[in-house]
Amino acid sequence: MALCPAVRLPPPGTTPTRITLHEMHNRFSLTTLTFMKSIIEQNITKIVNKASVLGRLEQLTWAVLSANTTTAMALVFLQMASRASAATFSFSTGAPDGKIATLSTPASPGKVQTETADDFVVTQSVVISQATFTGLIPSGVPLSSISQVEIEMYHVFPLDTAFPLSGNVPTRTNSPADVEIDSATRDSVDGSLAFSATIVSSSFTASNSVVHGINKHPNERTNGEGAVTGEEVSITVQFNPPVSLPADHYFFRPEVLLTTGEFLWLSAPRPIVAPGTPFMGDLQSWIRNDALAPDWLRIGTDITGQGPFNAAFSLSGETDADGDGVPDSVDLCSDTLADAIVDANGCSIDQLAPCSGPASGGVWKNHGQYVSAVAQAAEAFVAEGLITAEQADEIVAHAAQSNCGTNK
Ligand SMILES: [Ca+2]
Ligand SMILES: [Ca+2]
């Protein structure tokens, strides 16, 4: 059975009508719906969560109801079965350990950008939808003073790094790269993330801090700037769109701008302990400001002579086996080719209109039927803003020149 279901695209220029579960009840017999429910429940423990499946069912219905009922039921069952591989992704360094607090802020008038970063790993392609991190804001400053949150992800040195190195730091081994991963940056200023903050403790003390004492070699060892006390604040960010990352080792770098005072990111236990998620090769946290960039210093080993430290953060999301940016639980087309443009269902045009025959099974009646299917899919991608009209023309021209559907 084909893994990619028979998703019928709406006629060009129209918006698919989404129907509710209630309406679905009116279309299918009670026996059919009961059978569907049993299938879902048999798979439910393997599925990320029931709500997402029910939501999925609603999303599917416009496609389902535009197909014939037999195909439609096969599609629903296929989807329920294929969701078995969906799994949550979560990572956490654990709660703050009170050892150190370090500045991480965008530039603002009179202040230089300063960045703290700590690492994490993903062992398979994931889509990260949410992050949390915990730090200090000055006592008495309201949460409403948090005016901007920006998140960046970095590969580990020597990726994304310019050579020769400056020699301004003792080492770059195991540091974040020079530059961030462009596609993974999210900023409240442009609406690509939404944040909320809660006070964990009205008074929390970190034994040491690194705020402004970030100096080029050989003056990096300041021993830190001393204990700091403030309000312990947990900031949760929702990524929109989610951040899609292949399996690799990364650094997480949050920045927070306050209208009053500065945000200091708190350290977390190193090594990571449960309920955090320990991993082999955990690296210590690094810091730089724009005067030191593109280099980084090790907060513990280089600056304070303590640690080494982690920083308090967590990530959550879902697995994305084919790495197309669509989480497994909502991906209707598994095994999408790398770098293919996909719709919200995780399907590429090649998967919606395969050369080998209709996605619903069988073979193309003729070459024209294949080309027509490609054109329909391409037009839908244009309507959704996924490709340009010119790109659609190229795709259709390529399909027309192919042998697909000619039974050769
Ligand atoms: Ca670490
Ligand atoms: Ca896919």
Report the separation in Å between the CA atom of 152 and the middle of ligand 2, taken as the mean of its atom positions: 25
Query: What's the mean per-residue pLDDT of the chain?
Result: 86
Instruction: Give the environment of ion ligand 1: residues with CB less than 5 A.
Output: 118-119, 282-283, 310
Measured between its terminal Cα atoms, the distance across the chain in Å is 23
How far apart (Å, rounded) are the C-alpha atoms in residues 199 and 135?
10
Report the separation in Å between the CA atom of 387 and the middle of ligand 1, taken as the mean of its atom positions: 39
Q: Which ligand is nearest to the CA of 321?
A: 2
Report the separation in Å between the CA atom of 268 and the middle of ligand 1, taken as the mean of its atom positions: 9
- Residue spans per domain, the chain: 21-86+327-401, 88-319
- Predicted pLDDT at 79: 52
Helices (H) and strands (E) in the chain, counts: 7, 15
The pTM score is 0.78
Three-state secondary-structure class, residue 393: helix
Q: Which residue type does 238 have?
A: Q
Q: Which residue type does 112 have?
A: V
Q: Which ligand is nearest to the CA of 320?
A: 2
Measured in degrees and rounded to the nearest 5, phi and psi for residue 124 equal -150, 165
- Predicted pLDDT at 86: 82
Beta strands in 70-110, from DSSP E residues, in sequence order: 88-92, 100-103
Report the separation in Å between the CA atom of 155 and the middle of ligand 1, taken as the mean of its atom positions: 13
The answer on pLDDT for 272 being more than 90 is: yes
The answer on pLDDT for 26 being more than 60 is: no
- DSSP letter for 277, please: -
Rg, Å, the chain Cα set: 25
Cβ-contact 108, 261 below 8 angstroms = no
Tens-digit pLDDT profile for residues 310-351: 999 999 999 999 999 999 999 999 999 999 999 999 999 999
How far apart (Å, rounded) are the C-alpha atoms in residues 209 and 207?
7
Indicate the pairing of strand 146-155 with strand 126-137.
unpaired
Report the separation in Å between the CA atom of 332 and the middle of ligand 2, taken as the mean of its atom positions: 6
Cross-strand partners of 233: 135, 199
Report the separation in Å between the CA atom of 386 and the middle of ligand 2, taken as the mean of its atom positions: 15
Q: Do you find a cis peptide bond into 158, omega within 30 degrees of 0?
A: yes
> Could you tell me which residue, 77 or 400, shows the higher pLDDT?
400
Report the separation in Å between the CA atom of 118 and the middle of ligand 1, taken as the mean of its atom positions: 5
Report the separation in Å between the CA atom of 284 and the middle of ligand 1, taken as the mean of its atom positions: 4
Report the separation in Å between the CA atom of 283 and the middle of ligand 1, taken as the mean of its atom positions: 4
- Predicted pLDDT at 169: 98
Which bin fits 347, alpha (ψ -120 to 50), beta or left (φ > 0)?
beta
Report the separation in Å between the CA atom of 271 and the middle of ligand 2, taken as the mean of its atom positions: 36
How far apart (Å, rounded) are the C-alpha atoms in residues 291 and 304?
19
Tens-digit pLDDT profile for residues 173-209: 999 999 999 999 999 999 999 999 999 999 999 999 9
